[in-house]
Structure 1
């Protein structure tokens, strides 16, 4: 029987913060992240759910919390599970349910869910394609986002495809060695930082 090492919550949060600082903000992969990070408006939640249903219940709870909290206090939430989804294919299967959760809670148009994983892979790409790195985080993570924040940010970037295309150019230019040089801890899966 294989034993899965479960890191403590602070280790998970610290690794996530390093990823935010070095990749998401440092490479400007999300031009909107720096402001909420600097203002300490990101809620980090490390899940200890033992199964997918329990994790989805936590997602519902965090979506409701975010919807009912002043954006000045919490603008966005990162729901992280360090051990439940070691394989991207399993995590990817969960995403259909996760992405429809706001609608099921009556929060369509208010909140949305984005996904990150250490082995994230876009459709029609190879596992080692650098474009996948735009969504590679140290641990499987769901990003709960306010649509009002996206709308404000979109005023500066009316065409979001520009951001995606720019991000692919940045990570392609960086390459695998450059990405490793960022020092982002990838404690599980095939991804090493």
Structure 2
């Protein structure tokens, strides 16, 4: 699949699921300032280097609010979890924690405490494996003004469960059909 298609599908997911279902009440404001990047490196080392390069890019471009790094080669969920672990370790090792943080999304995302068929998983499911690189200062600013931010995940899960797993699966499938 070409890079532009991966980006279009991921952008559509952000617009219809993340913003459309209000899974992230702060995302709509930042849509125009979001960068999408496909990281097609097969090797873990190169995939992490791409993440660190994106941190450098964000440092040089403060007008960009956030970056979504798409990793199509990490479709295997266990490999993706290893990527996420290594990515967080790399942020720590490069003293970038506190400046940046990661949110993770994957087509097979599963919460450990939810049944396998739960609609709750779709709050973190994306059409492709994604590491969402967020500026820590931006998060702190919006959370300081948002009433009960700790309730966001519970509200998202309730929304997904109300819609049901089939509807959530269909919504995600429409993102892949672009």
TM-score for both structures, normalised by structure 1:
0.85
2:101 match: secondary structure:
strand
Kindly indicate whether residue 74 of structure 2 is the aligned counterpart of residue 80 of structure 1: no
Summarize the alignment of residues 34-183 of structure 1 with structure 2, pairs less than 5 Å apart: 34-37=28-31, 40-70=32-62, 73-82=63-72, 84-157=73-146, 159-182=148-171
Matches of 2:143 and 2:174, distance apart in 1: 28
1:121 match: secondary structure:
coil
Deviation at 1:176, TM superposition (A): 2.0
Matches of 1:134 and 1:99, distance apart in 2: 21
Deviation at 1:61, TM superposition (A): 0.8
What is the CA RMSD across the aligned residues, in angstroms?
1.6
Bigger proportion of residues as helix? 2
2:127 match: secondary structure:
coil
Matches of 2:114 and 2:80, distance apart in 1: 17
Matches of 1:126 and 1:186, distance apart in 2: 24
Q: Which runs of 4+ in 1 moved over 3 A?
A: none
Which sections of structure 1, spanning at least 5 residues, go unmatched?
1-6, 188-193
Matches of 2:90 and 2:58, distance apart in 1: 13
Matches of 2:67 and 2:104, distance apart in 1: 12
Alignment partner for residue 26 of structure 1, among 20, 23, 35?
Answer: 20
Deviation at 1:181, TM superposition (A): 4.3
User: Which stretch has the larger CA shift, 86-95 or 53-62?
Assistant: 86-95
